[in-house]
Structures are given as structure tokens and as C-alpha cells.
Amino acid sequence: MIPRRLLFISLALALILSLQPTPTTNSQIGVLTGSAVRTIILNAARGKIRISLPSDMAAGDTISGTVIAEPSGKDEREKQKNADELNGYVIEVNTKHWPVSGGVIQRFVIPPSLVRPPDIILLDPKGNKVSSAPLPVKPAPNTNTTPSFVIPQLGQSGNPISITGPFDGDSSNTKVQVGGVPAKVIAESPRNVIIETPGTVVGPSKIAVNENGQQSTGNFRALKIDLTAPKTSLLKGESTELHVEVQGLQGITEPVPVQLQNQTPSNINLTGGNTQNIVIQPSQVPANGTFNWTTNITGVSSGGFTITGTLPSSIDGNRGDSKPATSPTPRQ
């Protein structure tokens, strides 16, 4: 029996970043439309630096974000060597500096009056400029604030969600727990914080927010979606099954829609259409909270394929971006 392989785990509205060239040829800004996060990618000889910042940042804001080094290399030894070099680099914005090794940009105050957006610059250990990109900042101050915290009711295990409320843009004093498990803060503005839902939390739970002493708690349900297939590469005319498994549905009282989308229509056809909705009714969910569904895939041309499973934005609310897997991963 051929083992099933994990095709893709996703619950974001659109997971593949549209990378648009900036005036600097060796950098990119990835903007996920409708997302609470903007991703800036600064390229270097040994890999790239991925910077996540709040998408609503505006003139006069205090903001925080995260920095991740993504080394290149043909094997783990080379990747580790390149990672060590990248972690010696520094991020600079308006004379403020943050080491890549620290993993964060915190308490950066955007000037209230902007003639042009400041550049976010990558410096090597000697202080030489490696690459840069303009900081995607709204020039007009954003005075829209929410007096109380608004906690989303639904999201995905291991993926980002956005919580709106009276934040101060300083992630160092923001603590969020999901199901009692500390959640990583990805980015923060004065209007929202984007966290990564712990991958170990599945099903109904609670989110607890502590923003510099202000506290709030709300109900939350974390769903886990697995898309698997016996074959992850097909010849023209060859077929296989797509198996959809959604965990964490126990106790739902309203239908939950999941959208499947064929991201590689030149390679495969998805039976029922390349974009289709599965509406999970409460009556279809067994006691263990896991829903299963199967359809067919047929090869149009030879090669691999990518299919995503998503929740509609009207269900999931504002979300941050999630970096997708670049290739199928063996299912354990």
C-alpha cells in the first residue's frame, strides 16, 4: 500500500504571497491582500531575511514585528553555515537597529510626517548595505482604534490570526495564550496584534490576552485541515484520490464551510471544479470532532500539484499570512 502524503496544510484566505519588485532589485515586498501582515523579503548572498510587520501601519504609529533568517544551501551543513552568517546581519530603519539573531523589531516609532516612506535596510556585520526596500507605510495617521478587544472565534492550528483592540504597538508587553498555551506574537500595531496559533491546540478553547496589564478572554475554536493523497505527482490521464480531514469540529452548532482550490490547474483537474466549497453540517460531525471527505484528481499533464483548503474570510475574520509548504511532506 502506498502511504498517503501530506499535500498542503492551510487555512489562510490566500497563502501564496504575490511578490512585487521594489525599486531595489535585490529585495521584494510580499503583500497578502486582506491580510493583517505585510511581509518584506530582503535577499542576501547566503539566503534571505523575512520580516513580518502589521499591514495597517501608518505615520505616527509604534509598531513591532518579527524577523526570520532563511538560509540557502544544498544540505543541512551548508544551511547551518549560511544561517550563522545571516544571523550576524542587522536590520536598520531610520538609524534604529535590530540584530537578525534577535528575531524581532520592537517599539519602532514611525515619524508622524512622511515625505517618503523610510527604507528598511539589511546590513552585514561590517555595516555594509546588503539590500533594502521601502517600508510600506500609510502616509496619513490612522486614528481608528477599538476600545475593547475583539477575539476571533475561529482559526487554524499553527496559523496566524488577528486580534483587534487597544494595543500600543509594543510586542514586548503583549502576552497571548490559546488554550493555555503561549502564542507567538508575529506583529503588532496600535490597533491589532497578529499571533501564531499553537499547532498543538485543536478544537474549542479560549484565547486570553494581556496587553500591558489590560486583560480579555474569549472563546475560540482551532481547526486542523489535512489534505492527503496516495500520489502527489501524476502522469497525464492518471488519477488519484484527494482526502480531506478537518479536526476540531466537536460541538459546532452552525455549518462550517471549507473551500478547496486547485492552485495548479495546468497539471490537474479536481473533480467537481477547481474551486469548490464543502459545507460541513453539525449533523455530519461525529463525537470525535473529525470530518472526512474524498474526491478525485486527474492529471492534465505530468508533474506535481498544489491544492489548498481554506475558510472563507467572513468566517475566519482578519488573519495574518502563513508561509506554505513548498513540497509535499511525508505523513507520519
10-residue mean pLDDT series, the chain (332 residues): 41 29 35 66 95 94 97 96 97 96 96 87 96 90 86 90 95 97 97 95 97 96 92 94 95 91 93 91 96 95 90 48 33 40
Domain ranges of the chain: 5-10+224-330, 18-134, 154-222
Report pLDDT for 222: 93
The SS3 assignment for 165 reads: coil
Give the pLDDT confidence of 148-200 residue by residue, as tens digits: 999 999 998 888 899 999 999 999 999 999 999 999 999 999 999 999 999 99
> Which residue stretches of 8-167 are H helix?
76-86
**Are the C-beta atoms of 137 and 181 separated by less than 8 Å?**
no
Question: Measured between alpha carbons, how far is 37 from 312 in angstroms, rounded to an integer?
Answer: 18
Specify the pLDDT at position 13.
27
Output the pLDDT for position 309: 85
The C-alpha angle with vertex 94 and arms to 194 and 27, in degrees rounded to 5, equals 65
Please report the pLDDT score of residue 77 as a whole number.
96
Cβ proximity of 92 and 123 under 8 Å: yes
**314 by DSSP, 3-state: which?**
helix
Q: Concatenate the DSSP letters of all residues of 47-88 into one string.
A: EEEEEEEETT-BTT-EEEEEEEEEE--SSHHHHHHHHHHHTT
Name the grid cell of 214: 489590560
pLDDT confidence of residue 139:
85
Q: Does 3.40.30.10 match the CATH number of domain 5-10+224-330?
A: no
Q: Write down the residue that cell numbers 548595505 correspond to.
A: 129
Is there a contact between 229 and 160 (Cβ–Cβ < 8 Å)? no
**Cβ neighbour number for residue 264 with a 10 Å cutoff:** 15
pLDDT at 312: 61
Same topology, domains 5-10+224-330 and 154-222? Answer is: yes
Q: Cα(241)–Cα(195) distance, rounded to whole angstroms?
A: 34
Phi-psi region of 56 (alpha: psi -120 to 50; beta: other; left: phi over 0): alpha
Interacting residues of 114 by C-beta distance below 8 A, sequence separation 6+: 59, 137, 139
* H/E stretch holding 17: none
As given in the structure block, the three cell numbers for residue 40 are 518584506
Phi, psi dihedrals of residue 73, rounded to the nearest 5°? 150, 150
Residue with cell 490537474: 268
Residue 313 is predicted with a pLDDT of 54
53, 41 contact by CB (below 8 A):
no
> Closest Cα partner for 280 from 259, 307, 308?
259
> Can you tell me the distance from the alpha carbon of 15 to that of 97, in angstroms, rounded to the nearest whole number?
30
18 conformational bin, left if phi > 0, alpha if psi -120 to 50, beta if neither? beta
**Class at the top of the CATH hierarchy for domain 154-222:** mainly beta
